[in-house]
Each structure stands twice: as structure tokens, then as C-alpha cells.
Amino acid sequence: MQAAVKPMSFVLIIFAVTLAVAGQICLRRGMTTLTDRSGLEGTDLLKQPVTFVKEIVKTPMVLLGLVFFVSSAFFWLMVLSSVPLGIAYPFVALTYIAVMVYDKIFENYTINVWNWAGVALIVVGVVLISLRAVPE
């Protein structure tokens, strides 16, 4: 029988996921700024790696996004030290929901019935998996 997952582990999971979402949002906003400023996008950036790095350093939102990602990884390592990966990892799917809601509110992304059905399935899946972590 496996030990139950401690409540603090769930707090760390949610914190790590929140930092990952914040990182994604900052990276997206920063890369939009970088692209608008430099005129470079997508594969253009790969063709000019030195310019790409220089542009990243000049874009605070990209740097902040990277800080959030490193912080998320730090907390994720704490999670993995005490929570089985099969229980912890499904919570990463919550990032899809948070990013979709962000897109709806701040980027005017249209959320259709299929998007909401996907959200429902993600929530049900995360709940079912987290129930596995609770002692019987």
C-alpha cells in the first residue's frame, strides 16, 4: 500500500503549475513584443541565434517568463521528491485550462463547445487521479 499524498504536496503542485502558467503568459507577451520590435519571428529567430539572444535580453517580459519557469521547476522538484509522478503529472493539464481562460479574457480567443468539453474532461481526469492519492 502506498502512503497518502500530504496536503502540502498538493499546495506545491498547484503553486508549480501556477508558476508555469505565469511563465507561459509572460513568454507569449514578451515574444509578441520582441517580434513587433525586431520584425523577426519563428524560424527567422533560429537563423539568427545571436540576434535572438540579444533580443531576449532586451525583453523584460521574456526574462520574467524564464524566471517563472525556473521557479516552477524548483517547486516541481520538491513535488517529485514525495509524490508519485503518476499522481503529480496529470495536474500539469490544469495549465491548459488556465491558459485557455487567459486567452479568452485577454486575447479575445473564442472558446467553443469542444474547448469546454475538453476542460470538463481534464477536470474529471485530474479529480479521479487525485482521488487515487487519498487513503481509502
pLDDT above 90 as % of the chain: 47
Task: Tell me the percentage of the chain whose pLDDT exceeds 70.
Answer: 94
d(CA 136, CA 123): 21
- pLDDT tens digits, one per residue of 3-44: 577 889 989 999 999 999 999 999 999 999 999 998 888 888
Q: Return the amino acid letter for 24.
A: Q
Question: What's the rounded Cα separation, in Å, for the pair 19 and 15?
Answer: 6
Give the per-residue pLDDT at 88: 87
Residue 77: count of CB within 10 angstroms of its CB: 11
**CA proximity to 79, closest of 2, 17, 3:** 17
Please say if the pLDDT value at position 94 is more than 50: yes
DSSP symbols for 73-107: HHHHHHHHTTS-HHHHGGGGGHHHHHHHHHHHHHS
Query: Which pLDDT value is given to residue 135?
Result: 56
